[in-house]
Structure 1
Amino acid sequence: MFILLSICLLAQPSTCKEDRIDLSYEARSPFVCLRNAQSALAAWQESHPEWHVARWRCVARGSQPRDL
């Protein structure tokens, strides 16, 4: 599993892109992904202070995720 993020620059909110947080080593189901998402998102946000997470969702590895 991984978390698919839609992120935007704080300084330029119209500048957005997608990123991923890989949880495959600890999350094997959507429930586990959702349970661990808050701490993973907080850690990601701490290491990327210039970005804002606008949206996110858990996605199974191997699936073709739709754009957020």
Structure 2
Amino acid sequence: MLILLSICLAAQPSQCKEDRISLSYEATNPFICLRTAQSALATWQETHPEWHVTRWRCATRESLPKDL
């Protein structure tokens, strides 16, 4: 599973991009991803303080969307 992020610079909110967090399991149940996403997002945010997460969602590797 992946957590797909839409992120913007805190200092320049108009400068945005997409990123992803790869989770260490390959479950296809979205509820498992939703349950673990909060801690994964908090860890990501701690290591990227200059970025602000504006949107996120869970996705399987096989069904990656073209955009968030």
**Shared fold, TM over 0.5:** yes
Q: Which runs of 4+ in 1 moved over 6 A?
A: none
The yes-or-no answer on 1:52 pairing with 2:57 is no
**1:26 counterpart residue number:** 25
What's the TM-score once normalised by structure 1's chain length? 0.92
Q: Is the 8 A contact 1:27 1:33 kept in 2?
A: no
Across the aligned residues of Structure 1 and Structure 2, the Cα RMSD in angstroms comes to: 1.1
**Equivalent pairs: percent with the same residue?**
72
What's the secondary structure of 2:31's corresponding residue? Answer: helix
Q: Structure 1: which 5+ runs fail to align?
A: none
1:27 shift after superposition? 5.1
* Count of paired positions: 67
Q: Distance in 1 between matches of 2:2 and 2:64?
A: 12
SS in 2 for 1:46: helix
Structure 2 gaps of 5+ residues are none
| More helix by percentage | 2
Where 2:61 maps in the other structure, the secondary structure is: coil
